[in-house]
């Protein structure tokens, strides 16, 4: 499906946005919001908001948990893929997949389509921190390294990024 859901400790399931049978793109609230294959999620703003890797829409979306309001956080609102750093809405992603965040609300996103790891700063500007944009498996510094469709990502206690690379 194309749905964001919350499960509380009492095992009550609540839909935050999207619909199971219809993909699409719409910055809206609740069931009116549309997503296309959301694949990764991480909390920001003291756990009040959720960042979503909206893979097929080639962007990162923000959902305010309390109001269920969805908006584009980084990347294009026109669902155009690309490999461009810069401020939103000029930045472009290609199939963002995983997402991890710091306490300072900096997000790290793996991109399966660009074979890269991107950083979204608190001002919502996007910077490539690893990967050349071409598939490969090269260990090197930052943008000289290569990934092959990286998917999962997490930040450990020492703030090292751990990345699952499909290879």
pLDDT, tens digit (0-9, with 9 covering 90-100), for 55-73: 999 999 999 999 999 999 9
42 contacts 53 by C-beta, under 8 angstroms:
no
Structure tokens at 101: 């965040």
Q: Is the peptide bond before 89 cis (omega within 30 degrees of 0)?
A: yes
The yes-or-no verdict on residue 1 having pLDDT over 90 is no
Measured CA to CA, the distance from residue 85 to residue 83 in angstroms comes to 7
Is pLDDT above 80 for 52? Answer: yes
Q: What mean pLDDT is predicted for residues 91-102?
A: 96
* 73-77, 83-87, 117-121, range with the lowest pLDDT: 73-77
pLDDT at 150 > cutoff 80: yes
157 φ, ψ (degrees, to nearest 5): -60, -30
Q: How confident is the model at residue 135 (pLDDT cuts 50, 70, 90)?
A: very high
Task: Indicate the helix (H) or strand (E) that contains 70.
Answer: strand 69-75
Name the pTM for this structure.
0.94
- pLDDT for 105 beyond 90: yes
3-state DSSP: the chain helix, strand, coil percent, rounded to 5?
0, 45, 50
Residue-wise pLDDT for 111-125, tens only, equals 999 999 999 999 999
Task: Match 């450990």 to its residue by tokens.
Answer: 156
Residue 167's pLDDT is 79
Reference 101, options 124, 125, 120; nearest CA is 120
On the question of pLDDT at 100 being above 90, the answer is: yes
Enter the tokens of residue 10.
Answer: 């009492």
Q: Quote the pLDDT of residue 53.
A: 97
pLDDT at 11: 85
């Amino acid at each position: 499906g194309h749905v964001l859901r919350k499960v509380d400790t009492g095992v009550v399931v609540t839909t935050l946005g999207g619909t199971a049978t219809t993909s699409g793109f719409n910055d809206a609230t609740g069931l009116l919001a549309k997503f296309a294959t959301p694949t990764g999620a991480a909390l920001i703003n003291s756990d009040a908001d959720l960042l979503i890797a909206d893979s097929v829409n080639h962007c990162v979306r923000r959902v305010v948990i309390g109001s269920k309001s969805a908006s584009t956080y980084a990347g294009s609102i026109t669902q155009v893929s690309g490999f461009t750093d810069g401020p939103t809405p000029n930045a472009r992603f290609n199939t963002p997949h995983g997402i991890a965040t710091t306490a300072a609300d900096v997000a790290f996103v793996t991109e399966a389509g660009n074979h890269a790891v991107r950083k979204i700063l608190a001002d919502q500007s996007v910077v490539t921190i690893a990967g050349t944009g071409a598939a490969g498996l090269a260990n090197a510094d930052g943008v000289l390294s290569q990934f092959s469709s990286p998917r999962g990502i997490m930040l450990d206690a020492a703030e090292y990024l751990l990345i699952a690379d499909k290879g």
